[in-house]
Every structure is written in structure tokens, then in C-alpha cells.
Structure 1
Amino acid sequence: MTSKLYQWPSPFAIYPDRGNKSYRAKRFRFQLRSFLHKRSIKGFEHFANQHPQLIELLNARPNYSYPVAHRFLDKRFNAKQRLDLICDNLLFLPEVLTRLGLPPLWEKEINFGEIIPDFELCLCVTNYQPMEGYWTLELRYKQTNELIYLLTFGKIKQSLLIAVIQGPNIEGSKELVKLLTKKCHGLRPAYLMVEAMKALTQALGYKQLLGIPQKYQNKSRFVQSSRYVVNYDTIFSECAGVLGEYWQLPLHFESKKLEDIPSNKRSMYKKRYFMLEQLSKTMHEKFKK
């Protein structure tokens, strides 16, 4: 039975030993960080218990609390900034869905269907590193529900922020990226995820989309592989981003005039633009009041 109150998790709730593998060192770091951030933790407990809809989520997922005492979205945040942003981020998307009469994502994810053959896009809660955001877009192989790409995002003031873009960490990753690029009509899958986030930003009613600069990104442990390395600055720059405090990304799809495209590639670009237009239309339909 779920507790009716939220309490800061124990070290063993986040880092239980598994088999012969000990997580004693990780538990020690968690305890130390918890001690150093007692004020923030007290504030977070008060916040959580003022919002009953979050209590079950936070009790069921102890690691969702850890960012209060560690990092969240951006390495530059101090303890107060981090606490304020965590509270805001846990509320903003559930509040949008409530207004639309939709259940929270931890009860039911939102499936946008097959955006390319055999691959579907879903909006859900993160199952990986909550310090990089609680909400994710996931590109999955439909037949097996296998996660192929993910994009994690959060909210900063009145903007949405892309905090993570991660690709596959399996044998044959490069070949899979090539296959997806072909299915996306020449658009590389990491860039497809950015375009999907542009559409989601507009569908949710936000006017600005940001990207995390490489040096301020909280490194994810979901993918640490020599097979596929993400360079956020390169991606956001090539998506027409402008670097300031964050990468400021345009919300419109970058498109070329057909007369500027070589004739042998025009069909591919037409299919790409149609794919992105359909994705945007699907997202707007999902969030229509």
C-alpha cells in the first residue's frame, strides 16, 4: 500500500545491493549530499505533501528525489534554483494534461503512433536519469517496444529545454542510425528528435525551445559508448540554434525552397517535410482542448 505521505528516500531505496554487487559507495555519496542539502530536502518534502497527485509517483520512484541534493537539468544551478525548478517541472506537464482531461504520464503515456514505418514516438516519464528531466520523448521499435532514441526535456521559466538526446548503445548502432536516416528521408534520427520536440513545444503552447550547451549537460549514464557520441553543440548549431545562455532553437521546421534543392533529391525532401508536418498535426490533435 502506498504511503499517504512523502518522505525523503533512504539510501537503500535508491541503491540496493544487487547480487554480489555492492553500492555502498553510492549510498555514502547519497547520504553525504542529503546531509549537505537538508534545507532543500525539507522544502521538497513540504512541497510534495502539498500535492497528493505526486506522492505516489515520488514514493514509487525514489530516484526522482535525488536531483534535489545533486543536479537537475543544468550544472550551473545552485541549491535554491534547483529546488524551485524541480517543483515547477514536476507540476507543469501534469497540470497541462489535467486541463485537457488526460491522465498523468505515469498512469498512461501518450503514443503519437508510427512517425516512420516500424518506429513510433511516445511521450512518457523518464526511466533513466531524472537529473536530466522527468519527461521524455522516446522513439521505439514498434515490434519489440525497444527504445532506440530518447530526448529528455524540462521547463525553465516559460521555455522548454532539451537536456538529453541519446541514441542506441548496441552492436550495429551505426548501421541502425543509417537505416533510420533512410526511413526519415535523409534526416538523421537525432535531428528528428529535435524536430519532434519543436512540434511538441508548440502543441503544449510554449513559445521558446532551448538546448543545453555541451559543457553544462548532466552526463547521462544511459549511453556511454564509443559507438555513438552526442555533441549537443553540433546538433543545436546545425538546427539553426543561436548560442546564448542556452541554445535558442527556432520552432519552425527548417525547410529549403524546392528550386534550391537538386532535382534528384526533391522527392526525398518533399517526403521529409510531409513527415514532419504530419507529426506536428498529430501532436496538436493530441493536445487539442
Structure 2
Amino acid sequence: MHSISHFWNVSRGIYGPRNFKENKRAVVFFVRAISNRALFEELYTFFDQYPPMKGFLETHDPDFQEVMTRVFLFKNSTMRQRLDAVEHHFTILRQFFSDDVIKEIYWGKGYTLWQSQDAANPLKVRLIFDTGQRKEGFLSLYLYSREDMLYHFNFRFDYNKAGEPALYIGTLQGSKEGLELTKEITKKLFGYRPKNFILYLLRIFTQTLGIKDLYAITDAGFYTNSHILRGNRSKKTSLDVFWKEEGAEATPSEEFYWQMPITEKRRKYDDIPSRKRNLFRKRYLLMDDIIPDYIAHVKELFRDDFRPTPSAIDEAAITEKPADYDPIEAPKTQE
């Protein structure tokens, strides 16, 4: 068992004697850690016995231990719940991805899952671990334009109440300075907003892994709601409206999460105003070009023995299409 001095040194290593707030957090970390040493020892043992993460807390990212002592992930989460979330996430992760891939995600720079070859629309999608985003999850899917971040999801894998692997979205964040860039990219994606585009990619990611359930944090369940008095640190952006626009529904099995459809339904000819039909046609043809390459890159991360059945087949993933294929299914003949 680690000594009391170990936890004090960890607390000082994470926070440092920089100011009153950091000193206070160091003390809180220390008190909570020594009061829950058995749970910390469980965390250490889990990572020691998990080859891709062995030594991670000691040499690469000691700050990750803050997940144990602060109320992250969802409202009023306990240390036991957060430790379970860590163990479940990494257990599921190793069912999907090879050890080398996991090490590159958490020790290295992650992976580019898709990159536009269009110099006029230089988008890039990356799967990474960003330690600064650990409050809401343990993986992130980022959308960049050149090196400018547009949007990213923070999420984690966990078991749902049925005991099945599921994907839990902790937040969707956009660039504070990216409003004009977002408008520009929306035009280049034929009216497809970047936040809808990255949600679409996360859904395809979910489908490709064979995961059937996708959940998104509710505004009420956001972790900052754990404290009555938080001043200007409270959550300012509502996501519930966006989730509901995308088909989110309440589910009795999840107190703090909406259940999201894992598919995005394409609008068809009769559902689209005539003035917008060509715009939607171009958008869907663009997705038909992007998605097969994106799926191929996701599959490159899989363990050799992981061959999931996709939980859904998106229309864009179907590469063999008839010569007269039209993504919005225009009538063959019109008067």
C-alpha cells in the first residue's frame, strides 16, 4: 500500500503551491485520497495490470488521478462510480483496439480518422485523449479546419444498465473564436453545420464498433451541477435543445443521460423544399465520399480478433450503388 507521503507528493505534483485555489485543491485531494486509499490502490493495481497503461499515472499523466477526487463525468458522481467508469472504459477499449493503438492514443498524439483532400476545405477528424478534457470523458473526437478546432466530443465507453458496452457523451464543445469559420465551413459542407457533421461521424464510429446504445449528458446531469454555489463556473451552454433536435429521448435506465439514435436519417425528395434539393443532394454525395474512408481508418485501429457486426448500416457506407443512384431518390420521371 502506498504511503501517506506518496499522496501528499502526488497532490503537490498535480497542483503545486501556485495560489490559494491550487493549495486548497491539493489539500482536498490529499484528504480524499488518504480517506479512500483502498480505491486508489484499486486504481493503481488496475493500471499496473493493464499493459498499455502501465506507468501512465507515474510517468506520463499524474494529473489523471484528479478524476478520483473531483466530481467529474456527471452530477454528484461518487469516487466509486468514477473508478468504475475508468475501469469499464479501459476494459471495453481493449476489446476494440490493440494495445499499440491504446498506447498511441494515451501516450502519443492519437489518430487522424479522416482528412479532406480539398485544399479549399481542409477539414480533419482526430481521435485523441486530451488530459484537459478528462472532466467529461476519457476520449475525444475532434474536428479541425487546418489547425483550428471547430468542435469536439468528450466521451467514454461504459456498460449500460443491460450490461452492454455503450458510448456516453460527456459534452460537445465548440471553439469560442470559431463563429465566422463555422459559417464558412457550413457553406462548404452544403449547409451541414460542423456540430451536426461531427455528431454524424460519432454515430458512424459507434455503428462501426457494433455499439447499439449512444447516450448524451443532459443539462441537468452535467457535472458542474454537483454544487449549489459555483459562481461563474456553472455550465452556460445548453445542449438539451441540440440533443432533442437530433432525436434524443429520456430513458428510465439513465438518470443523467438522454438516449440518442445511433443513426441520422437522411431526408428524401418529398421532405425537402424544392429550392434546397440540390443542396441536400450535394451534401449527401459528399458524405458518400467521406464515410467509407472514415470507416476504413476506424477499422485500422481494431484488434486482429475484433470483427464486429455494425450496429447499423448508414447509406453513405454502402459503396456499391447503382449507376442511376440519387441520394435523395428523385422520381424517375416527372411531368
After TM superposition, is the score higher than 0.5? Answer: yes
TM-fit CA distance, 1:280: 3.2
After superposition, residues 45-60 of structure 1 pair within 5 angstroms as 45-59=44-58, 60=60
TM-fit CA distance, 1:21: 8.7
How far apart in 1 are the matches of 2:21 and 2:74?
29
How far apart in 2 are the matches of 1:240 and 1:139?
22
- Secondary structure of the corresponding residue to residue 161 of structure 1: strand
Match of residue 130, structure 2, among 122, 126, 131:
126
Q: 1:12 to 1:118 in 2, by over 3 A?
A: same
Larger radius of gyration: 2
- Secondary structure of the corresponding residue to residue 10 of structure 1: helix
How far apart in 2 are the matches of 1:194 and 1:58?
31
Coordinate RMSD, CA, aligned: 2.9
**Is 1:160–1:210's contact at 8 Å kept on the other side of the alignment?**
yes
How far apart in 1 are the matches of 2:224 and 2:21?
23
Aligned to 2:181: 176
Percent of aligned pairs with the same amino acid: 24
After superposition, residues 61-76 of structure 1 pair within 5 angstroms as 61-76=61-76
Paired letter, 1:123: L
After superposition, residues 35-54 of structure 1 pair within 5 angstroms as 35-54=34-53
TM-fit CA distance, 1:44: 1.0
- Dislocated runs of 4+, deviation >4 Å: none
After superposition, residues 152-191 of structure 1 pair within 5 angstroms as 152-157=154-159, 158-170=165-177, 173-191=178-196
Q: 1:215 to 1:129 in 2, by over 3 A?
A: same
Deviations 1:50-89 (A, max 9, x none): 2232123323111212112223422243332221111121
Aligned to 1:26: 25
* Count of aligned residue pairs for this structure pair: 273
How far apart in 2 are the matches of 1:248 and 1:10?
38
- Secondary structure of the corresponding residue to residue 148 of structure 1: strand
Aligned to 1:283: 294
TM-score in terms of structure 2 length: 0.72
- Secondary structure of the corresponding residue to residue 147 of structure 1: strand
**Is 2:219–2:238's contact at 8 Å kept on the other side of the alignment?**
yes
Paired letter, 2:57: L
**Any stretches of 5+ residues in structure 2 without a counterpart?**
1-5, 160-164, 226-231, 305-335
Please state if 1:140 is matched with 2:147: no
How far apart in 2 are the matches of 1:31 and 1:251?
41
Paired letter, 1:212: I
Please state if 1:217 is matched with 2:222: yes
Paired letter, 1:156: D
How far apart in 2 are the matches of 1:266 and 1:58?
53
TM-fit CA distance, 1:229: 5.6
TM-fit CA distance, 1:193: 2.0
